[in-house]
Amino acid sequence: MHEMALCEGIIGIVEEEARKRAFAKVKVVCLEIGALSHVAPEALKFCFEAIAARSIARGARLEIVETPGTAWCMACSKSVEINQRYEPCPSCGGYQLQVTGGEEMRVRELEVD
């Protein structure tokens, strides 16, 4: 389960920001997760609770904003939304797609005290 390692990284980012900005408590961690990132949001929530319990984010709520996958179709020259890799272009049915978005996972914002 790589979500545990991802949560450890998220908490590392939160604790680094706490040191930089001198806040003592985190209420909400808002993550942006792309549809093509291979992250299971429910597993991430479960792991976050366990990892956050030993940190400045103890009791914090995890909010997840899911973003769509996007790709550039070389056949029809359009930017299209995709749900998974290797599916055909929803516009022309071609398979020459280059992923342009939806692979990211980032801390979008923190609500702190």
**Encoded amino acid at 88, one letter:** P
Write out the binding residues for Ni(2+). 2
Write out the binding residues for Zn(2+). 73, 76, 89, 92
What is the strand order of the sheet 97-101 is part of?
Answer: 78-82, 69-73, 97-101
Q: How far apart are CA 75 and CA 79, in angstroms?
A: 11
Write out the binding residues. 2, 73, 76, 89, 92
Helical axes 2-21 vs 41-52, angle rounded to 10°:
50
